[in-house]
Chains A and B, each alone.
Chain A
Amino acid sequence: MTLWDLFWGFFVANVLGYGGGPASIPLMQEEIVNHYGWLTNEQFADVLAVGNALPGPIATKIAAFVGYQVDGWAGFAAAILATVVPSAVALIVLLRILNHYRQSNVVRGMTLMVQPVIAVMMLLLTWEMGKVSIGSIGIWQSVGIAGVSLWALTKGKMHPALVIVAAFVYGGLVLSSSMA
């Protein structure tokens, strides 16, 4: 039953995620945290942190960890299968048909219309993760780190993985003293 839940949860989150892996992040959070309760929001934030520090597609990394956490290597396999196989098979099987409809208003309209929903879900998730951060290190540290990292990512053009590593170092050196 758990394996089926894993498969179904990740299948739904990815089959609705138009716009690549990142579009599936808020849909996965909905299944993982809100629906099945496999992780808390805090743990989901950790998964995103480590996921963004490692290379490779984000959706499969999240699936790999959550699947493993919930049901060991069988869960790992089930979650990854559900994430990758449906869309990969669809691309191979539908290639000819899709080629015909790619420029059609139907397919373009579907892809476009999902964007505002994903944007709003992403906004809500940003809010949730902001609350998680304030809950763990307070408003001033949160705003300070957020400000510096926003500057580093946009103006400083720093690589996201480096920003995460820098935050790890800062936390290990500075915040560790305030952690009980």
Chain B
Amino acid sequence: MSNFFQLLINEQIKLYIRKSTWIMYILIAVLVLGLAFLSDYTVEQAAKYQDDNWQETLEQENADLQQQMEEDDMMQGFNNTQIEKNNFYLENDVQPRSYDAWQFVMGNEFLLSLVSLFTIIVAAGIIANEFKWGTIKLLLIRPITRTKILAAKYVSVLLFALFTLLFVLIFSWLSGALFFGVNGMDPYIVLNESDGFAHVSIIGEIIEGYGLQLVTLVMMATFAFMISAIFRQSSLAIGVAIFLMLSGNAIVSFFSEYSWAKYILFANTNMNQYINGSPMFEGMSLGFSLTVLAVYYVVFLSLAWLFFTKRDVAGH
């Protein structure tokens, strides 16, 4: 096992020494800081409830919203939800929280699609680049099985995803703390859940929100890894994986007429459908989706393994 660890070190060095990897992290950092700058409005909104008269402020706001609705029917939907939310605060005697680092982290959940994108790029390149550089020949003529080299590369991709995810979390939290401050270490927030408004832990929400997106991330990274192993070309792997990731939902709805649509990968990557209790197709359950995902996962990795270990490394 010790030489597997050495292989991991090699892969991580080759990954993190390159400028292209650093650019990914710089992009994330710039984006997070930009988002923090743009959060002024949200901060102001939350700030007005921070004095002792927050109940009066909420009641006043409800009255304003009511009036606005009478004047303009268009606002009905949005304002009703807002009034409901305000009433939840009043009924449960919960003061709305000021905007802080935790909420900022929670709001940055969508950055995970960027992490997915970067992970796909890394996964697509980790095998294909060795062929492009020609270094694959020197890499494979070592007393290490190809299976082990492949495993080290795959684990390296997952490690990259993990590190990048942690970077998003930690950098967002730190920037949030810098811009908005930290309001307690176990904060709660009122959110619109599937069964009405509820007082929930932000940390729980963060884990759930980021965690659920990891399903798509891991599946698409594994897919790109497979394409990279089969075709030994990174641009193809990046292109196909990103295309599928972006058009996944469209693909599912396009084939939704057919009974086999529920077996499509993308019908099963969104675990929110089970939390909300509204599966995409009839007959789908959490167990069903997990099984389908596992089958895809095993197929992806098996194909990658088959092509990487069995195929000749011939000339260019």
Partners in one complex: no
Measured CB to CB, the residues of A under 8 A from B are none
